[in-house]
């Protein structure tokens, strides 16, 4: 565990707050994906549900990776901790999974019934 001022950084209140928030977001995303899997197995999932799961999961991964990099400060960009590699990897996923914006438009179409793109 990285240290700052002679103590493990996980012992600082602000760091623990960030860790709890990260865990909460990851847990919510896992529950969303479990539910989508159940709906897919029953043949009840819609394209909008799948698009929402993609955009939500990739946004959460991006946010959590950025927070992890932030927690490590300057060390977060070093190869020693690999956080920056994860952050770069998720940027690719965020972009190529139909892109975040296109998935958003798919969900918007499903909830409004109106196409915002052709």
| Domain range list for the chain | 8-109
Residue in 25, 63, 91, 97 annotated catalytic:
97
Structure-token pair, residue 46: 């819609």
Residue 38 has pLDDT above 90, yes or no: yes
- Give the pLDDT mean for 88-110: 88
What is the reported pLDDT for 118? 74
Structure-token pair, residue 1: 């565990």
The continuous run of DSSP H or E covering 57 comes out as: helix 47-71
Query: For residue 64, with 0-12 CB atoms within 10 Å meaning exposed, 13-18 middle and 19 or more buried, which class applies?
Result: buried
Question: What is the distance between the alpha carbons of residues 32 and 107, in angstroms, rounded to a whole number?
Answer: 15
Provide the CATH topology of domain 8-109.
Answer: Butyryl-CoA Dehydrogenase, subunit A; domain 3 (1.20.140)
Its pTM stands at 0.85
Residue 98 has pLDDT above 90, yes or no: no
Q: Could you confirm whether 97 is annotated as catalytic?
A: yes
């Amino acid at each position: 565990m990285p240290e700052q001022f002679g103590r493990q950084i996980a012992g600082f209140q602000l760091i623990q707050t960030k860790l709890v928030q990260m865990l909460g977001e990851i847990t919510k995303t896992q529950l969303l994906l479990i539910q989508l899997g159940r709906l897919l197995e029953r043949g009840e999932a819609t394209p909008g549900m799948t698009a929402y799961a993609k955009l939500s999961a990739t946004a959460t991964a991006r946010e959590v990776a950025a927070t992890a990099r932030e927690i490590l400060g300057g060390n977060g960009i070093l190869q020693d901790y690999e956080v920056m590699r994860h952050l770069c990897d998720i940027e690719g996923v965020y972009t190529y999974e139909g892109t975040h914006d296109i998935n958003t438009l798919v969900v918007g179409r499903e909830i409004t019934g109106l196409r915002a793109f052709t």
